[in-house]
Amino acid sequence: MKKLDSFLLDAVLGLVFLLVNIVSIYLLLRGHNLPGGGFIGGLMTGMSFILLGLVRGWKDLQTEIPVEPLRTATIGVTIALFSGLLPVFRGDPFLTQYNFHATEVPLIGELHIGTPLLFDIGVFLLVCGMTVKLIIVLARSTSGLPPFSKEETHLYASVLEDPIEDAVKGKETPHAD
């Protein structure tokens, strides 16, 4: 898929990206009490990256994202698991949730926060990372680019295997990036 050549879209993109992510983090934080939560927030952030990819092109998106999405997803699961294992060390059952209440917090006032939020952050990171990774691979793969950068190919692909393009043409095609 080629990138969209629209000046307007390109110009407002940064603002839209910022706004969407503010909303998504807001949804994440309020999730326990009002509609929202990690899944919705994560999907929203994922969508904002998809938008970025559609406008700026998928090839650049991969290099622009500071962290590897798959790693984000893994970290997400780890955080969720950690929040579940935390009570085990205190002798409570797996996934017991703790809540803390503070009545006088500067600037905020009342604050109710608990380990469910940690769990939700894990879900957020997983959903976001997974969406971004899948869409990048899919988009690159369908637009004729190699699905992975060179380092990733080294990580994921077996040495017994070649990209299908290479196997068909019988010659090395230079990797992008």
Partner 1 sequence: MPDIENSTPILFAALLGVILLPLFVAPLALALGSRLGRRTGYVAMAAPLLALGLISWIACKWPDGGQRIVSVPWVPSLGVNLSFIIDGLSLFYGFVISGIGVLVCWYAAQYFEDRQKSLGWFFACLLAFMTSMLGAVFSNNLVLLFAFWELTGIASFLLIGFSHSDEKARLGARRALLVTVATGLCLLAGLIMLGLLGQTYEINVLLERAGALSQAGGPLLTAAGVLILIGAFGKSAQFPFQFWLPGAMAAPTPVSAYLHSATMVKLGVFLTARMFPIFGTLEFWMPMVAGVGLFTMLLGAFLALRANDLKAILAYSTVSQLGFLIGFYGLGSAQGVRFDFVHVISHVFYKGSLFMIAGIIDHSTGIRDVRKLGGLGKLMPLTAGAALIATAALAGVPLTTGFISKEIMLAEVGKLADAQPIGWVFFGMVALSAIFTVAFASRLFLGVFTGKKPTDLHFHAPGLVLQLPPILLAAAALVFGIFPGALGNVLDRLSVSGLHAPAEGYLALWHGFNRELLASTIILIAGTLLYLWAKKTAWRWAVTPRWLQFDQAFDRGVDGLGGFSKKLTLALKADWPPAYLPIVIFFLLVIVFGAVIANAGSLKDISTLELKFDPLRTFVAALITLGLGAVLLLRRWTSQLVALSISGFFLTFYFVLYHAPDLAMTQILVESASVVMILVLVSRFSSASRAGTRFEFTFTWPQIVRAVLALGMGLLGTGLVLFAELNKHPDPVGPRMRELSKPLAEGTNAVNTILVDFRAFDTMGEITVLLIAALAGIGLMMRYKRSSGGKDAMSAPGFLLGGKNKKP
Instruction: Answer for the pair 138, 148: CB distance below 8 angstroms, yes or no.
Output: no
The one segment of 8-16, 60-68, 102-110, 159-167 that binds partner 1 by CB under 8 A? 159-167
Smallest CA-to-CA distance from 63 within 139, 148, 141 is with: 148
Segment 116 to 135, residues that bind partner 1, using CB under 8 A: 116, 119-120, 122-123, 126-127, 130-131, 133-135
Q: Which DSSP letter does residue 95 get?
A: T
The one segment of 6-14, 59-67, 103-111, 115-123 that binds partner 1 by CB under 8 A? 115-123
Q: Which token pair is 168?
A: 């068909």
Q: How far apart are CA 156 and CA 159, in angstroms?
A: 9
Q: How far apart are CA 38 and CA 124, in angstroms?
A: 4
The one segment of 10-18, 60-68, 87-95, 103-111 that binds partner 1 by CB under 8 A? 87-95
Longest alpha-carbon distance in the chain: 69
State whether residue 177 is helix, strand or coil: coil
Whole-Å CA distances, 14 to 49, 55, 65, 94:
11, 11, 14, 41
Segment 43 to 72, residues that bind partner 1, using CB under 8 A: 43-44, 46-47, 50, 54, 70
Q: Which token pair is 110?
A: 């009342």
Nearest to partner 1 of 64, 112 (CB atom): 112
Nearest to partner 1 of 62, 84 (CB atom): 84
Query: Can you give the binding site for partner 1, defined by CB under 8 A?
Result: 1-2, 27, 31-40, 43-44, 46-47, 50, 54, 70, 73-74, 76-77, 80-81, 84, 88, 91, 94-95, 97, 99, 112, 114, 116, 119-120, 122-123, 126-127, 130-131, 133-135, 137-139, 141-143, 147-148, 156-167
